[in-house]
Amino acid sequence: MSEKEILQRIQSENVEFIDLQFGDMFGMLNHTTFIAKNFEESHFKNGIPFDGSSIRSWKSIDKSDMVFLPDIESAFIDPFRTRKTMVFFGDIIEPRTGEMYSRSPRTIIHNALNYLKSLGIGDEIFFGPEPEFFIFDSVNIRNTSNVSYYEVDSVEGPWNSDAGNDNLGHLIKHKMGYFPASPQDTMVDLRNDITTHMQEMGMHVYLHHHEVGTAQGEIGFRYGTGVTAGDSVHKYKYAVKNTAHAYGKSATFMPKPMAGDNGSGMHVHSSIWKGGNNIFAGDEYANLSDTAIYAIGGLLRHGRSIQVFTNPTGNSYRRLVPGYEAPVKLAYSATNRSAAVRIPYVIGSKARRIEFRCGDSSGSPYLNFAALTMAMIDGIRNKIHPGDPLDKNIYDLPAQEAAKISSTSTGLDMAISELKNDMEFLVAGDVFSEDLIDAYLDYKVAEEIEPLKVQPTPLEYELYYDI
């Protein structure tokens, strides 16, 4: 679609406002809104200036001018606005050089895809993310020097079994929420509306269902390239949160919002294509190619360090523990959901792919996919073989056998330490800049790791107050 064609669409559909959206380095969706009648063809060619100094870890105030260049193909009508609004994702441009901004996560996934092509490995890499979420009826949070607590509530919650006249039974016990029919599943209509809104936003949706956790859900949508799949994750989260808000509820993609129940992950399927063929399909283990096996080798070799981007928050590691269906061992296996890398059962070579199961959606999807891409590229370039598959329930392995298998990072501080010692594969081809990595890590340490270290929790009061 050309600039003239999109302007004609804006006029013919009586669009009143243009909303420009972009994700920051840490996965937060930002936006600014313009009056549609003031939008011109030059805005699509040259971009729109904005102040980048207030975006976390981006620009200092003395060099704050940035440019947003709309991606015409990303356009969709926002179903949540009362006046007709067209939304664009886009790239961030450094006006002093005319190049894409090196700290914009969308730039990094562009770089990774270009690097893949330059090496002749493939023409495209596709990602199929599966972000899970919780929807609560209410959430209360207080964290001051003398008070610290959170409280979430859901009509599905087993803690409401004695709610008097408000309790109609049919509650969902922790870790028993997978696929129950209504009346246990109270969110069917809500998820129907979410998927309807997603389709109105131009997304191709396959299905939805209740997930394992109390008040937890998942919606399946079509895969895309690194760029379009990243856009889709942002659109998906936008649709889930805004639909829940319209219902008077609150949606979260926080990896572990409740103790004692499963957390929310984002399993990511991927395959590399070249010349119209899926080069992950072959005659090796689970009908994979040597290329796919080496890609798995790269993911497992760099599994701990890429967690800085795939499991990017302190809370991520409260999910990534044994006993809650989250993989904690860096192994691979066919159709095995206890492994870090699963090879799904599929029909036909076009659908052949691998699935990285450790990650979650609490950060930037673009950086997540770029880190996965670079780990796979390194595995393919250096023919890193992952060893034999582990075709057994890893959760039930005897302790002595489990100890022989490399584990995922146990905390964000560990993942950062691993990355600092294992960074070369990310900066290869100037895909990730050291400047971006340094800025990202500095923020994570100062704003998350250090505050979490010094904050007492209610559990500590239970354990230690009477000492």
> Residue 62 burial by CB count (10 A; 0-12/13-18/19+): exposed, middle or buried?
exposed
pLDDT, one tens digit per residue, over 309-347 is: 999 999 999 999 988 889 999 999 998 888 999 999 999
pLDDT, one tens digit per residue, over 289-307 is: 999 999 999 999 999 999 9
Structural tokens at position 87: 């939304």
450 in catalytic set: no
Given 130, 200, 325, 448, the catalytic residue: 130
Q: Per-domain residue ranges for the chain?
A: 3-102, 124-464
Percent of the chain with pLDDT over 70: 100
Over residues 97-114, mean pLDDT: 96
153 in catalytic set: no
132 in catalytic set: yes
C-alpha count within 13 angstroms, C-beta hemisphere, residue 226: 28
- What 421-425 contacts at long range (C-beta under 8 Å, 24+ apart), as own/partner pairs, is 421/305, 422/302, 422/304, 422/305, 423/305, 425/298, 425/302, 425/374, 425/375, 425/377, 425/378
Length of the chain: 467
> Backbone phi, then psi, for 199, in 5-degree steps?
-70, -35
For domain 124-464, the question of CATH label 3.30.590.10 is answered with yes
* pLDDT surpasses 80 at 169: no
| Sign for the pseudo-dihedral over CA of 362, 364, 369, 375 | negative
Measure the CA–CA gap between 240 and 287, rounded to whole angstroms: 36
218 in catalytic set: yes
Given 24, 355, 360, 418, the catalytic residue: 355
222 in catalytic set: no
Over residues 262-272, mean pLDDT: 97
124 in catalytic set: no
Given 132, 137, 261, 360, the catalytic residue: 132
pLDDT, one tens digit per residue, over 366-381 is: 999 999 999 999 999 9
Task: Identify which has the larger pLDDT, 172 or 137.
Answer: 137
Task: Identify which has the larger pLDDT, 399 or 209.
Answer: 209
16 in catalytic set: no
For domain 3-102, the question of CATH label 3.10.20.70 is answered with yes
The alpha-helical segments, DSSP class H, found in 20-168 are: 41-46, 105-118
